[in-house]
Structure formats: C-alpha cells, structure tokens
Amino acid sequence: MADVSMGPDLIQMGAYIGAGLACTGMGGAAIGVGHVVGNYLSGALRNPSAAAGQTATMFIGIAFSEALGIFSFLVALLLMFAV
C-alpha cells in the first residue's frame, strides 16, 4: 500500500521536473540567437554594402528568440512557486 502522506511531495517533485523541462526552452533560445547572428554575419560578409540595412532585422530576430527564452523561464518559475 502506498503512503497517503507522500501525495504533496509527489506533486512538488512533478512541479520541479516540469520546471526543469521548461528551462530547456532557454537553451533553444540561445541556439536561435546563434543562428540569427550567424546568418547575419554570413550575409554581411557576402555583401557588406547591404549589411547596414539588415542590422535592425537582426536585432528583431534576437529579440524574438530571447522572448521565447524568457517565456520558458517564466513558466518554470510559475511551476516552481505558483503551483
């Protein structure tokens, strides 16, 4: 027979595991930023005269990638402290 008092500990353990899995989104955001900047540099080295016009697009791509990482961090915090 399972011990009934283990229920809250099991729920808290599940919340911590979910928070850890949610944090993998931060790694995905880092990979996304690397791709955005790498592709920008690749294009800038091929056509330096067009690089200045694409700088704003690069920063928008970085911001979107970082926003997804921040959202995954917030989900992890919510799982740890709000559940």
Task: State the pLDDT at residue 39.
Answer: 92
The torsion angles phi and psi of 3, rounded to 5 degrees, stand at: -75, 130
Tell me the pTM.
Answer: 0.71
Which alpha helices (H) appear in the chain, and where do they start and end? 7-22, 24-46, 51-81
Task: State the pLDDT at residue 59.
Answer: 92
Query: Could you give the 3-state DSSP secondary structure of residue 34?
Result: helix
Tens of pLDDT along the chain (83 residues) come to 555 566 778 888 888 888 888 888 888 888 989 999 999 999 999 999 988 899 999 999 899 888 988 998 998 888 888 86
Task: State the pLDDT at residue 19.
Answer: 87
Q: Where are the domains of the chain?
A: 24-81
